[in-house]
Amino acid sequence: MEQSDQLILDTAERIFADHCSADVVNAADSGHYPTELWGALKEAGLLLVWVPEAEGGVGGSMGLGFSLIRRAARYALPVPLAESLVANWLLAQAGLASGEQSNGFALALDALPELNNGELHGVVEGVAFASQVSQLAVPCLQSGQLTIALVNVDACEISEQRSLAGEPRSTVAFKGAVPLASGTVHSGGAIELARGMAALTRAHQIAGALEHIVTLTVNYVQERNQFGRALSRFQAIQHSVADIAGESALANAAVEQAARTVSQPDCEFDDALMAIATAKSVAAEAAGKVAQLAHQAHGAMGFSHEYPLQQYSRRMWCWREEFGSEFYWNQWLGQHVASKVSLTDEGGAWASIARAY
């Protein structure tokens, strides 16, 4: 990792530690938006990591952005840092990158909104933090081609809802909204790659949450006594902690490999999507297993509002479903390999799978 990248991550770590305590996260879940935290992130320019330097951004690598996303998830960050990074990446793909930081994105998993005669029509569900940003990057179709439209939030109809984690997830309707700007993405498979990037972002968030849950659980079982000895002395607890740590390590290895794959300038489209699909599948499956084991190890304490475990388990349950669950991506992997490679070819299927690693 370059020294400049480490400096950016260290700056982010200080902001997270100073402004994102467990109490701040709980307050955000109750509707009290952490404006001080959000302002500190914007002032440090951390939302512009994937914006080119020529456009007023940091010009950071894909790996730097994903590392930032994963570290933020270790604090259950209740602001749209990840969403702003993805939004700015989408805008950069369409030649619309700028130094404007308060961007979110509205990406549909089924039918995309359509841009006709300069007006945007369509509905996107599950948009994260739509009311907390000023603009939305909206992947849409214009004359059959993927286009990124930059839309002012005030021009949209927003039905505010909350996820299981208490975070804003809204239904956004575009009823003739006129974009501030729009640009066509000409690269092949752009729609699938955009959805894949969103899925990989959620996978990195899960991986970051898993890392923190490992720390929480290890500390708890070492400090908590039962029947005259620490919980960590019981063999069943030791097995659970080992399983939690193992699942976290698997998820982190998968997301790190996917980030390396998509960072390569000569990465083939199929290889990028296979690595993304694997990362989201592994991380999502780990989220289910780790949440169960961690809550079992904590007992009733893990469900209390005051203790931070619930902040991470609830977010993981949401993230594992967003932009494709493990079932969705496992099915995609099977269909993709079957359609691209003959299983009777010498090393065919295995070569296709291994090439993504």
As a CATH number, domain 190-350 is 1.20.140.10
Token pair 């994937």 is found at 50
Q: Would you list the DSSP string of 261-279?
A: HHH-TT--HHHHHHHHHHH
* Overall pTM > 0.85: yes
Burial of 154 (0-12, 13-18, 19+ CB in 10 A): exposed
User: Residue 183: which pLDDT band, with cuts at 50, 70 and 90?
Assistant: very high
- Residues of the chain with pLDDT > 70, as a percent, come to 95
**The token pair that represents 137 in the structure block:** 């990057």
Whole-angstrom Cα distance, residue 346 to residue 114? 44
pLDDT at residue 342, rounded to an integer: 59
Residues carrying CATH 1.20.140.10, the chain:
190-350
Nearest to 90 by CA among 197, 171, 202: 197
More confident residue, 102 or 27: 27
* Angle of helix 309-321 versus helix 269-298 axis, rounded to 10: 150
Domain with CATH 2.40.110.10 in the chain: 3-184
Mean pLDDT of 124-133: 96
Residue with tokens 């991550």: 9
CA distances, 49 to each of 96, 132, 203, 271 (Å)? 15, 19, 19, 24
Q: What is the pLDDT of residues 47-91, one digit of tens each?
A: 999 999 988 889 999 999 999 999 999 999 999 999 999 999 999
pLDDT digits (tens, 9 = 90+) for 209-263: 999 999 999 999 999 888 878 888 899 999 999 999 999 999 999 999 999 999 9
At 269-289, the pLDDT tens digits run: 888 999 999 999 999 999 999
Task: Tell me which residue of 160, 138, 145 sits closest to 33, measured CA to CA.
Answer: 160
- CATH 2.40.110.10: does it fit domain 3-184? yes
What number is the average pLDDT over the span 299-323? Answer: 93
Whether the pLDDT of residue 327 is over 80: the answer is: yes
